[in-house]
Structure 1
Amino acid sequence: MQYLDLTVRYPPSWRHPMHRYLDDAPDAERSRMLAWNLSAGDLTHALFHVVADREPYVAALDGVDSVERYDVTALDDGSFYVFVRERTGERLARFAAAFAGLDLVIVPPLTYLPGGRLRFEVVGEAGALRSVVEGVPDPLRADVERVGEYDHADAGAASLTGRQRAALDAGLEVGYYDVPRTGGVDDVAAALGCAPSTASDHLRKAEAALVRRARAEE
């Protein structure tokens, strides 16, 4: 069973308003579509996990004409879930058509990232996977990040947020992970441009995610 780890890149004119929000809002990191249903005629129902400042995000969602209603559930870590009922637009329908009728499945989540990027995994037969890349509609571009035999234990590879990845990168650069350590949390915070407590939080969450993934692979 083969899989592709895909990044689909949307030009600005094709981005959903809430995807554009990830580009414009400095505190918005990502939105992950955990589940969806396109079978209700011209409506799409979807469940998202969002890492962003909740109130501005919800205010932006209120301004999207195609959204008929939504429900928000806040989480203790500051992120939140959003269940959305939205009219299915032509662009989403064209994107979904690239996967219709093929011997494959999309493995959630679909992660929306700044810069018009959408990252997700597709599992199926090799020929069907090639058809997906070739069938992504213009002007979208599909880049294959990884390909191989599917292993669910590897599915957490993209589970870190952008800020968590940046914190790990900063830690490496300033010597936080050197042995012996030559840089501290204050240095990571300075590299990120945030408070030391925020940098420490990003580091702890990133490290916990990597440890859980490593244990899952044993």
Structure 2
Amino acid sequence: MKRVRITLDPAGDYAPPLYRRLAGGAPSLDRAHIINWNVAAPPTAFLLWLRGDYRRFEAELEASRNVDEYELLPLTDRECHCFLEGAVADAARLLFENFTQGSLITVPPIVCNDDGTNTFSIIGTAADIQNAVEGVPDGVGVTVEAVGGETVAPKSAIGRLSERQREAVETGLEIGYYDVPREATAADVARELDCATATAAEHLQKAESTLIGALLER
């Protein structure tokens, strides 16, 4: 058996409106994971883990035309599980099903990154994994992040960051953003990344939140 960790960058019908809210489009959420799912037949059901002001996000669930039913299951004031059921475009369903063919098993969670991508691990035979990666539609970007390893999930905390978050943290380290006293600002990081200051600050904040949570085993 073989393990591969991949990142998908869906667009168009492959990225339904609700997914785009989970993957960086909802200011009320700091982090969103897809813990489990059932896409075998309509309606589609998902179990999510959310961190942030999930009560504000509930208003978006209530207003969504694609959500038939949902329930929030609070864990803390800032974290909850969310069960939801609703309609998913055929394109998005086929993208999920592509990673359930043959021997393949998708290992939860699917991490919804703030840049619109999602990252997860799959295990199975080398041939089935290759077929799945090659079977990703043209409208979806795919990056193989890691191959093999001793465990199914990433062992290091840094492995939980999106590519852009890692780049922001590494840039911050290089130019003195994390020095004491601080020698660079979020604006300096943004200049190196060629992005807006608010975008760089968001990458840094979410990366720091993920890393601290991982170190505290949350």
Which band: TM-score by shorter chain? 0.7 to 0.9
Question: Structure 1 residues 114 and 19 mapped into 2: Cα distance closer, same or farther (>3 Å)?
Answer: farther
The share of aligned pairs that are identical, in percent, is: 27
CA distance in 2, matches of 1:51, 1:169: 24
Equivalent residue, structure 2, for 1:37:
38
Do the aligned residues in 2 keep the contact of 1:7 with 1:142 (CA within 8 Å)? yes
Moved more, 81-90 or 202-211: 202-211
* SS at structure 2 position matched to 1:136: coil
SS in 2 for 1:6: strand
Among residues 202, 206, 211, which one is paired with 1:206 in the alignment? 211
Give the C-alpha shift of residue 168 in structure 1: 5.5
Q: Give the secondary structure class of the aligned counterpart of 1:114.
A: coil
Paired residues of 1:133 and 1:142 also in contact (CA < 8 A): yes
Which has the larger Rg?
1
Q: CA deviation at 1:143?
A: 1.0
Cα distance in 2 for residues equivalent to 1:10 and 1:174: 32
Unaligned runs of at least 5 residues, structure 2: 190-196, 199-203
> Do the aligned partners of residues 94 and 38 (structure 1) sit closer, same or farther apart at CA in structure 2, a change above 3 Å counting?
closer
Deviation (angstroms), 1:161: 8.3
Tell me by how many angstroms 1:169 deviates.
Answer: 5.2
Q: How many residues align?
A: 204
Q: What are the ranges of 5 or more consecutive residues in structure 1 without an aligned counterpart?
A: 194-198, 214-218
Equivalent in the alignment of 1:67: 67
- C-alpha deviations, 1:71-130, integer Å up to 9, x for none? 002232512211111234312321133124321210000111233211111111111111
Amino acid at match of 1:71: E
Match of 1:115 in 2: 115
Correspondence for 1:81: 81
Task: Give the deviation of 1:56 after TM superposition.
Answer: 3.0
Aligned to 1:48: 48
SS of residue matched to 2:148: strand
Supply the RMSD in Å over aligned alpha carbons.
3.7
- Give 3-state SS (helix, strand or coil) of 2:65's partner: coil
Counterpart residue type for residue 37 of structure 1: N
CA distance in 1, matches of 2:115, 2:169: 21
**Inter-partner Cα distance in structure 2 for 1:89 and 1:212:** 36
Cα distance in 1, alignment partners of residues 142 and 50 from structure 2: 23
Alignment partner of 1:154: what SS? coil
Amino acid at match of 1:64: S
Compared CA separation, residues 201 and 10, structure 1 to 2 (3 A) = closer
Q: TM-score, normalised by structure 2?
A: 0.73
In the alignment, which residue of structure 2 is the partner of 1:102?
102
Counterpart check, 1:25 vs 2:26? yes
Report the residue type matching 1:98 in the other structure: N
Q: What SS is found at the alignment partner of 1:65?
A: coil
* Alpha-carbon distance in structure 2 between the residues aligned to 1:160 and 1:110: 12
Please give the alpha-carbon distance, in whole angstroms, between the structure 1 residues aligned to 2:11 and 2:77.
Answer: 32
Equivalent-residue separation in structure 1 for 2:152 and 2:181 (angstroms):
36
